[in-house]
Structure 1
Amino acid sequence: MGKLTGKPTSFDIAQLAGVSQPTVSRALRGSSTVNLATRQRIEAIARQLNYTVDRSASNLRNGTTKTIALLLFRDPTPDETVVNPFFLGMLGAMMAACASHGYDLLVSFQQFSSDWHTDYEDSHRADGLILLGYGDYADYRARLEALVAQGTHFVRWGSVQPGQPGLTIGCDNIAGGAAAARHLLDRGRRRIAFLGSATDHYPEFHDRYRGYVAALGEHGLAADPKLQVETISTEEDATQATRELLHRRVPFDAIVAASDLIALAAMRVLAGAGINVPYDVAIVGFDDIPAASLANPPLTTIAQDSGLAGRRLVEMLLARIGDRPVESTVLPTQLVIRRSSGEGR
């Protein structure tokens, strides 16, 4: 191999390999249009020359950034470092999925109160957006409609609703809420409280509440409004909600919590009040975050597969970017039984 002066280029590799420069470019991108033997020869020459692909320039020529932006939303909280552990599980899966497709993942933490969409719409910093997080969706729909109108590629994690803008992946929240309540009912519990939002501002929690109400109805029971307390997935709010439930002095023997974070906060408040879980009050959470199995007692919960969800979000977005047909998807949930729900009385 002749000695080269200066930084090697794809044209140098093409000359040494006896192929055209476009063939070199395709080979170094791993394109299947270049046969394996030729691709391996080109890759070997590139290694010998210490040649690296200028991906920024390549992406610029192709009109892409090869970047996906993950916008992770949360409600305003006193501690801005707090992130729901369930979403961290999804993040790892999304990073791996992006890397396997040659994409970078740009992560941005947002609040629903911020004008989150403007920066990404105007700067074209990413080929598409993944929207992730629970929050108050009162003005969210209009923003999603704006993204659709502007041709922005995006997919969101959340409650799959008829006629909603864009693409959504979410778990079967209604079935999950029903499974949580049925599990408690099957163990003889009848005064079952619900901690979470029963309004459509939080569609995921609302659907879990609907499932809870449906399961009660299957047993000839009506939901008691005094046994439902509004809360979001923060320790502070869930702690206050549990204290409010106790303050009402309405008898209850079980709790369906709209998230594991809510359930864990409730368990701490009940323990502080001398109420034994599960003997006095049985509890079922939702999500199956790592802390659920480590709680005392370990938390029975409705599991969502965060790894599968993360991979599906990336795959769905890449399909949309590539103009391939794709539809919103509902993923199944699974009841994971641990000691917090006790045994039937």
Structure 2
Amino acid sequence: MKDRKPTSFDIAYRAGVSQATVSRALSDSPLVNEETKQRIKEIARELNYKVDKNARNLRSQKTKTIALLLNEDHGTGDSLINPFFLSMVASIIRASANQNYDLLISFQQFSDDWHADYEDANRADGIIFLGYGDYTTYVKKLTHLDEQDAHYITWGPVLPGQPGVSIGCDNFNGARQAVDHLLALGHRRIAFVGGISDGSPEFKRRYEGYSLALQEAGVQVDPQLQIDAETSEDSGYQAALQLRERKIPFDAVLGASDLIAIGVMKALEEQGLNIPSDIAIMGFDDIPMSAYTYPPLSTVQQNTKLAGELLVDNLLRLMQSEPVESFLIPAQLVIRGSCGGKS
């Protein structure tokens, strides 16, 4: 044990910093403040630590690995992963393999410095983000990545002035099509179940598409027909009960996600309502289980296969310093038994 050479971990432990910070300090990176840098160098001298030049040279090479960071979503049940993302993960795995890249999958919220933990630590050449929790908090971390010139891409909202590059679904027009379909079936009192705050910009865009479709049909938007809900069956279930407690008539519901819509269906059915003859239900996402509810859930499909391929392709372009812009993928209606009618 006496002959064991000191490592960067020993320095990190003594200095109370990450190994990535030690590496940056010893290479005089401007990302480490001078006081911390000097403290780390002093500890390195005390331990007689020698920088491995071969290891340092490896930092200039490519890892041929992409980091896929998923948001841990406590609202989706024991799995902690929104089932909508599972098929997208499969597509990202295939697309990465086709480009001869390995994929490192982890939860994103376990770290305060994504760049240091993955790209700067030479664990991955770039990062893909799926899910974000509260967007107002999340966008601050993305801004920090921009300041570090990190290579990353996100699946989510496409908003003016947002940091980085984002690929997402056309939530506005997807919801607009869904409501147009419900209106064509004769429904006029259509409820919207889902949060619409700035912290949930995708749900908010779906609500805006819902509202415009009603207005274009000459139907007044009733704020009493909107109930906040997170992406889970239980949240949709509780929201439906709240909607019923308001004692206002409604003949259709657009859930901001399939999980919400499935929870709404269960609550209404337990109250003796028939779907779709009493209440029509429409979801959003087209997760696999939506085809196996009773009745099968009509929904707005997001193309997860295409999304995964585009995320990988555009991240690789970013890593090659090629110009890449944010854009939206069109959504498509999938009509099943929960609302009736043909697509």
Higher mean displacement: 136-145 or 152-161: 136-145
Find the counterpart in structure 2 of residue 36 from structure 1. Answer: none
Higher mean displacement: 183-192 or 244-253: 244-253
Distance in 1 (CA, whole Å) between partners of 2:124 and 2:111 is 19
Find the counterpart in structure 1 of residue 72 from structure 2. Answer: 74
Find the counterpart in structure 2 of residue 231 from structure 1. Answer: 229
Q: Look up the equivalent residue of 2:337 and give its one-letter code.
A: R
TM-score, normalising length: structure 1: 0.79
Distance in 2 (CA, whole Å) between partners of 1:96 and 1:342 is 35
Q: How much does 1:62 deviate?
A: 5.5
Distance in 2 (CA, whole Å) between partners of 1:207 and 1:61 is 42
Q: Which consecutive segments of 4 or more residues in structure 1 shift more than 4 A?
A: 77-80
Distance in 1 (CA, whole Å) between partners of 2:132 and 2:302 is 14
Q: Look up the equivalent residue of 1:115 and give its one-letter code.
A: D
Contact 1:136 1:201 survives alignment (8 Å): yes
1:329 pairs, out of 327, 330, 334, with: 327
| Pairing 1:32-51 to 2, within 5 Å after superposition | none
Distance in 1 (CA, whole Å) between partners of 2:76 and 2:218 is 42
Instruction: Name the SS of the counterpart of 1:330 in structure 2.
Output: strand
Instruction: Name the SS of the counterpart of 2:128 in structure 1.
Output: strand
Contact 2:299 2:333 survives alignment (8 Å): yes
2:112 pairs, out of 106, 110, 115, with: 115
Contact 1:216 1:222 survives alignment (8 Å): yes
Q: How much does 1:186 deviate?
A: 0.6
Find the counterpart in structure 2 of residue 194 from structure 1. Answer: 192
Distance in 2 (CA, whole Å) between partners of 1:209 and 1:246 is 20
Distance in 2 (CA, whole Å) between partners of 1:82 and 1:163 is 30
Provide, for residues 39-97 of structure 1, a one-character-per-residue CA deviation record: whole Å limited to 9, x for no partner: xxxxxxxxxxxxxxxxxx9x937511111111111333494423222100001110011
2:81 pairs, out of 83, 94, 109, with: 83
Q: How much does 1:160 deviate?
A: 0.8
Contact 1:192 1:252 survives alignment (8 Å): yes
Residue 314 (1) aligns with residue 312 (2): yes
Segments of 5+ residues of structure 2 without an aligned counterpart are 1-54
Q: How much does 1:242 deviate?
A: 1.4
Distance in 2 (CA, whole Å) between partners of 1:116 and 1:286 is 32
Find the counterpart in structure 2 of residue 93 from structure 1. Answer: 91
Provide, for residues 207-254 of structure 1, a one-character-per-residue CA deviation record: whole Å limited to 9, x for no partner: 000000000000112211111011111122222111111111111000
Q: Look up the equivalent residue of 2:168 and give its one-letter code.
A: G
Q: Aligned residues, how many?
A: 287
Contact 2:193 2:253 survives alignment (8 Å): yes
Contact 1:67 1:128 survives alignment (8 Å): yes
Assess, with a 3 A threshold, how the Cα gap between structure 1 residues 211 and 135 changes in structure 2: closer, same or farther.
same
Provide, for residues 269-315 of structure 1, a one-character-per-residue CA deviation record: whole Å limited to 9, x for no partner: 11111111101100111111111111111111111110000010000
Find the counterpart in structure 1 of residue 291 from structure 2. Answer: 293
TM-score, normalising length: structure 2: 0.79
Segments of 5+ residues of structure 1 without an aligned counterpart are 1-56
Q: Look up the equivalent residue of 2:177 and give its one-letter code.
A: A
Residue 244 (1) aligns with residue 242 (2): yes
Distance in 2 (CA, whole Å) between partners of 1:223 and 1:174 is 16
Distance in 2 (CA, whole Å) between partners of 1:211 and 1:341 is 19
Distance in 1 (CA, whole Å) between partners of 2:333 and 2:310 is 21
Decide which structure has the larger Cα Rg and report it. Answer: 1
Distance in 2 (CA, whole Å) between partners of 1:179 and 1:240 is 26
Contact 2:71 2:81 survives alignment (8 Å): no
Identity of counterpart residues, as a percentage? Answer: 51
Assess, with a 3 A threshold, how the Cα gap between structure 1 residues 237 and 332 changes in structure 2: closer, same or farther.
same
Q: CA RMSD in A?
A: 2.1
Assess, with a 3 A threshold, how the Cα gap between structure 1 residues 141 and 102 changes in structure 2: closer, same or farther.
same
Distance in 2 (CA, whole Å) between partners of 1:61 and 1:185 is 58
Instruction: Name the SS of the counterpart of 2:160 in structure 1.
Output: coil
Instruction: Name the SS of the counterpart of 2:157 in structure 1.
Output: coil
Instruction: Name the SS of the counterpart of 2:338 in structure 1.
Output: helix
Assess, with a 3 A threshold, how the Cα gap between structure 1 residues 319 and 329 changes in structure 2: closer, same or farther.
same
Distance in 2 (CA, whole Å) between partners of 1:134 and 1:209 is 19
Distance in 2 (CA, whole Å) between partners of 1:242 and 1:219 is 25
Provide, for residues 93-114 of structure 1, a one-character-per-residue CA deviation record: whole Å limited to 9, x for no partner: 1001111111111111244x86
